[in-house]
Amino acid sequence: MTKILVIDDERPIRSTLQEILEFEKFKVETAEDGAVGLEMILNNKYDLILCDIKMPKKDGMEVLEEAISKGIDVPFVMISGHGNIETAVEAIKKGAYDFIEKPLDLNRTLVTLRNALEKTDIVKEIKVLKRKVSNGKITDIIGESEAIMKIKQMIDKVAPTDARVLITGPNGAGKELVARQLHEKSERAKMPFIEVNCAAIPSELIESELFGHEKGAFTSAIKTREGKFELASGGSIFLDEIGDMSASAQAKVLRALQENKITRVGGDKEIKVDTRVFAATNKDLAKEIAEGNFREDLYHRLNVIPIHVPSLNDRKSDIPILADYFLEMICSDQGIPAKTISKDAYEALKEVNWTGNIRELRNIIERLIILCSDKISAEDVKLYANVK
């Protein structure tokens, strides 16, 4: 049921709005001033807020500004008996959906509320569709820890250039997100972003996957096929787990980086490509070079800009932000009523040894959403998160 908060210092208006909105099948809560209203907003989830502007203790504009500064993403409809064009414009500039003058026209009020809720639903649907179009892949880098802020700053500096980037860090830490952000903030953003998991492709097929093949090049090559480097031309290619690439493929990647040309398997024609390369690995490439498993010249070609993504255990201050992000995303995607996490549950999540990093945290949050009540507690975390 849609939940609306009415904040107004006039009891008759609160009571009238509550009665009418409940008749329209909305769930309604009320607050008698801005201070009480803001506290309710910060501690509960609402689908829409009707907020008077002139109130004691804290006026409506202050409530609006503080809610937005706290990251509350809920449509505000401002109401006032002292309305004028300047007030309306100021409210909307500060983030309100709309402005209604007193005395309230109930038909207009209901139309405004329904339009605000409809817009919110459309925005949510667009977010879900975007995730589905991108195969459910998250592209945001979530976190405010010092390490993550440094990575975001590095991305902002490096993305507009064509510099190659080598991204290191443990499995599940978010190396792919860094590569995606580099692409999306670059001038190549409208061109393809092609991913290749070098560890998932058999060594005998990796060259065909990267550079394509001509018809008849091998038994199953029934037609000519473009490789990932060609498909990414004009855009970016992300070579994930590059430390697992075969020696012969490494040699061809090195040539592609040196000359911006590739040759398909079974062909002799050189094909010019304009592809920006991001590479990632969870291996110590210096050690791999010493053991003869990775080419040192390729390493230096790739490692123009190094970015290290820390493990989740090294950035546990980000866990509450990440947990809230996954909570909202998963509930929205699966059509589950919104749930909340208690403060002691956040602390319990910080006690987990996150060997699987962000990927493991997402899985645990999904498990808690499915198995727990509306408010996830520390006991739930200890029961279902395999606290070590």
DSSP state letter for 159: T
Residues 295-354 have pLDDT tens digits of: 999 999 999 999 999 999 999 999 999 999 999 889 887 878 888 999 999 999 999 999
CA distance 24 to 110: 9
Domains 3-133 and 313-384 share a fold: no
Task: Return all residues near 16 (Cβ < 8 A) that are at least 6 apart.
Answer: none
- The domain limits of the chain are 3-133, 162-308, 313-384
- Residue 182, pLDDT > 90, answer yes
Which pTM does this prediction carry?
0.67
Q: Under DSSP, is residue 136 helix (H, G, I), strand (E, B) or coil?
A: coil
**Architecture per CATH, 313-384:** Orthogonal Bundle (1.10)
Q: State whether CATH 3.40.50.2300 applies to domain 3-133.
A: yes
Q: What is the pLDDT of residues 258-290, one digit of tens each?
A: 999 998 988 888 899 999 999 999 999 999 999
CATH topology for the 162-308 domain: Rossmann fold (3.40.50)
Let me know if 246 is exposed, middle or buried by CB neighbors in 10 A (0-12, 13-18, 19+).
Answer: middle
Cα–Cα distance measured from residue 313 to residue 317, given in angstroms and rounded to the nearest whole number: 9
Helices and strands counted in the chain (H then E): 16, 16
Tokens read off for 115: 């339009």
Residue with tokens 């998250």: 138
The C-alpha atoms of residue 281 and residue 287 are separated, in whole angstroms, by: 13
State pLDDT tens for residues 78-132.
Answer: 988 765 667 778 888 888 898 888 888 888 889 999 998 888 777 766 666 655 5
- In the structure, what pLDDT confidence band is assigned to residue 136 with cuts at 50, 70 and 90? very low
Does residue 280 contact residue 183 with C-beta atoms inside 8 Å?
Answer: no
Q: How many residues appear in the chain? A: 388
Q: What is the mean pLDDT of residues 232-243?
A: 95
Q: Which amino acid is at 190?
A: K
